[in-house]
């Protein structure tokens, strides 16, 4: 790419913003990247190849989109801000392999979009600079919709990336770690300083890569109940499993029933949620689910 023509430079970005009289909307978490090397590295880390389809969320003025379009066969980008549509038409007009969809990604029918814009069986990746305020809902939608993608590579707030990739017995480990790791193998692949954004956010960023699992990491009888129980165990972080579960199941189970259920699977009730592996959470969820759903005789 000719660096002089790249969108992701301070001069070019300012020029585009002035041309369209664009002002940043804080409510949409708009922070544009002004360093082409960072974008180049993100595309490399994502492993985008010529045969790939790519889904992007929040293209902004097209800085990351143009890098993706130069490496992938097809890029489909979701942009919620109508003011950016003419900007994108201008900055990306020379690319024939980009489709901009004016829609909130949280309301999109992704399987339908994939069927419409990508070839059957085409390897697909998600690559995006996500707005901080809505990172978790977007990622959970992508995971729970079970869309056929190989991996998700996103720039997000550093603290959130650390929580998603966290291991047991760390302060970052919680229900979000379990939810993400149930569906994917997460790893932090890059750190990004706040200085490469316009306007500069108040926090540093990380690039998180989620490699999709063919099957969830553990078997659970009922996914909804599994996630409910995990959240209950982290309800009050400093409380023990006995306390958090008694509070959550107070209408359904006695303290004695909770203790005996935990004893059955050799999990000590005085432990805290942050000490449990995902396998232990699955074992606990399955045992409680079976106990609560035994037919009455």
Short-list 248, 217, 252, CA closest to 233 = 248
State whether 163 and 245 are in the same domain. no
pLDDT of residue 24: 72
State whether 253 and 148 are in the same domain. no
pTM of the model: 0.92
Q: Mind listing the pLDDT tens digit for each residue in 103-132?
A: 999 999 999 999 999 999 999 999 999 988
The whole-chain average pLDDT of the chain stands at 93
State whether 241 and 176 are in the same domain. no
Residue 46 located in a structural domain: yes
Tally of domains within the chain: 2
Q: Which of 212, 231, 248 is at the close of a domain?
A: 212
pLDDT of residue 4: 43
State whether 16 and 47 are in the same domain. yes
Residue 4 located in a structural domain: no
Q: Which of 187, 212, 237 is at the close of a domain?
A: 212
pLDDT of residue 124: 98
Burial class (CB in 10 A: 0-12, 13-18, 19+), 279: exposed
The larger pLDDT score, comparing residue 120 to residue 294, is at: 120
- Tell me how far apart the alpha carbons of residues 192 and 190 are, in angstroms, rounded to a whole number: 6
State whether 129 and 229 are in the same domain. no
Rg of the chain over Cα atoms, rounded to whole angstroms, equals 22
Phi then psi for residue 235, to 5 deg, are -50, -50
| Token pair of 239 as six digits | 């409380």
The owner of tokens 């409380």 is 239
Residue 118 located in a structural domain: yes
Phi then psi for residue 125, to 5 deg, are -130, 155
State whether 34 and 164 are in the same domain. yes
Are 35 and 196 within 8 A, CB to CB? yes
Pick out the residues of the known binding site. Answer: 31, 33, 58, 79, 104, 129
Residue 22 located in a structural domain: yes
DSSP letter at 186 equals E
Q: Mind listing the pLDDT tens digit for each residue in 188-212?
A: 999 999 999 988 888 899 999 999 9
DSSP letter at 16 equals H
Q: Which of 193, 212, 231 is at the close of a domain?
A: 212
Q: Mind listing the pLDDT tens digit for each residue in 259-273?
A: 999 999 999 999 999
Percent of the chain at pLDDT exceeding 70 = 96
Residue 26 has pLDDT above 60, yes or no: yes
Short-list 63, 67, 69, 70, CA closest to 84 = 63
**H helical segments located in 21-119:** 36-46, 63-71, 85-91, 110-117
Percent of the chain at pLDDT exceeding 90 = 84
In terms of residue numbers, what domain contains 168? 10-212
- Tell me how far apart the alpha carbons of residues 93 and 163 are, in angstroms, rounded to a whole number: 38
Q: Mind listing the pLDDT tens digit for each residue in 65-92?
A: 999 999 999 999 999 999 999 999 999 9
Cα 165 from chain centroid?
11
Short-list 74, 85, 77, 82, CA closest to 108 = 77
Least confident range of 48-52, 108-112, 129-133, 283-287: 129-133
DSSP three-state, residue 235 = coil
| Token pair of 247 as six digits | 């509070």
Residue 19 located in a structural domain: yes
- 227: domain CATH number is 1.10.8.100
State whether 177 and 41 are in the same domain. yes
Pick out the residues of the known binding site for S-adenosyl-L-methionine. Answer: 31, 33, 58, 79, 104, 129
pLDDT of residue 28: 64
**Residue 94: left if φ>0, alpha if ψ -120 to 50, beta else—which one?**
alpha
Residue 297 located in a structural domain: no
Are 282 and 216 within 8 A, CB to CB? no
State whether 162 and 65 are in the same domain. yes
């Amino acid at each position: 790419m000719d660096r002089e023509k790249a969108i992701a430079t301070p001069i070019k970005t300012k020029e585009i913003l002035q041309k369209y009289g664009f002002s940043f909307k804080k409510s949409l978490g708009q922070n544009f990247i002004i360093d082409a090397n960072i974008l180049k590295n993100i595309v490399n880390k994502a492993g985008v190849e010529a045969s790939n389809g790519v889904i992007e969320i929040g293209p902004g003025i097209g800085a990351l989109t143009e890098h993706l379009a130069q490496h992938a066969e097809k890029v489909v980008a979701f942009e919620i801000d109508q003011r950016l549509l003419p900007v994108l038409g201008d900055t990306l007009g020379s690319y024939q392999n980009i489709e901009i969809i004016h829609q909130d990604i949280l309301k999109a029918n992704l399987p339908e979009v994939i069927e419409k814009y990508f070839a059957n069986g085409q390897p697909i990746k998600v690559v995006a600079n996500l707005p901080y305020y809505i990172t978790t809902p977007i990622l959970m939608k992508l995971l729970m919709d079970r869309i056929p993608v190989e991996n998700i590579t996103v720039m997000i707030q550093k603290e959130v990336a650390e929580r998603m990739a966290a291991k047991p017995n760390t302060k970052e480990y919680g229900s979000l770690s379990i939810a993400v790791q149930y569906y994917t193998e997460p790893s932090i692949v890059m750190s990004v300083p706040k200085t490469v954004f316009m306007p500069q956010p108040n926090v540093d960023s990380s690039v998180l890569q989620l490699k999709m699992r063919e099957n969830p990491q553990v078997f659970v009888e009922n996914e909804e109940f599994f996630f409910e129980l995990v959240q209950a165990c982290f309800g009050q972080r400093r409380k023990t499993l006995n306390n958090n579960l008694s509070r959550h199941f107070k209408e359904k189970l006695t303290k004695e029933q909770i203790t005996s259920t935990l004893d059955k699977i050799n999990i000590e009730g005085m432990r805290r949620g942050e000490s449990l592996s995902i396998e232990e959470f699955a074992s606990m969820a399955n045992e409680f689910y079976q106990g609560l759903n035994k037919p009455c005789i």
